[in-house]
Amino acid sequence: MDDDRALDAVGPRLRELRRKREVTLAELAAQTGIAASTLSRLESGNRRPTLEQLLPLARAHGVTLDELVDAPQTGDPRIHLRPISCSDGVTILPLTRRPGGIQAYKFILPGQRKKQEPDPKTHEGYEWAYVLNGQLRLVLGEHDMTLSPGEAAEFDTRVPHWFGAASAEPVEYLCLIGRQGQRAHVRAAPKA
């Protein structure tokens, strides 16, 4: 009985996740390889999801399977971050687990023995980076700068930008990324 209720609740949860991310059924179909008509039936509850459908849906929405099917809590309060390893040696740890809004990540870049040739990119959004350890090289438009631990940078991501290690030591930095116009709000200390 509990399994039936959990599966019945998946449809509305799928619709809510998709709408929060402001993604159409056609866009989600392209991301998951599941037909838009099937996605519509899943969201409306006219079809029960299979594991083969839940896996790409969870991946596309950036949630765990447990979150997608509302599995009961295990009582374990630890956060289990799943790092993403990239082919260039970069490791990305997603720190937020909700779709939409400002997303937080921890990046770990490998050190560089020789100066890298930057390949600046652009995309919609606004970014804020804070260096934890190492020396971060940031190429932003015409500027080429090195940020040290405790330093931060914020910029519109439509400006061509590139990150890399400025030395042979690895770099760790936190990054907040929002859609265009979404910025982190910094609150000043109250007046004494």
Residue the block writes with tokens 């509850």: 45
In the chain, pLDDT over 90 holds for what percent of residues? 38
Domains of the chain: 1-69 (1.10.260.40), 84-178 (2.60.120.10)
Q: In what order do the strands lie in the sheet with 161-165?
A: 143-147, 136-140, 161-165
Q: Which residue has the higher pLDDT, 138 or 56?
A: 138
**Residue 58: per-residue pLDDT:** 83
**Residue 1: per-residue pLDDT:** 45
DSSP states of 33-54: S--HHHHHHHHHTSSPPPHHHH
**Residue 78: per-residue pLDDT:** 60
Q: Which residue has the higher pLDDT, 33 or 7?
A: 33
* pLDDT at residue 80 is higher than 70: no
Spatial separation of the C-alpha atoms in residues 78 and 177, rounded to whole Å:
24
Whether residue 42 contacts residue 53, with contact meaning beta carbons closer than 8 Å, is answered with: yes
pTM of the model: 0.56
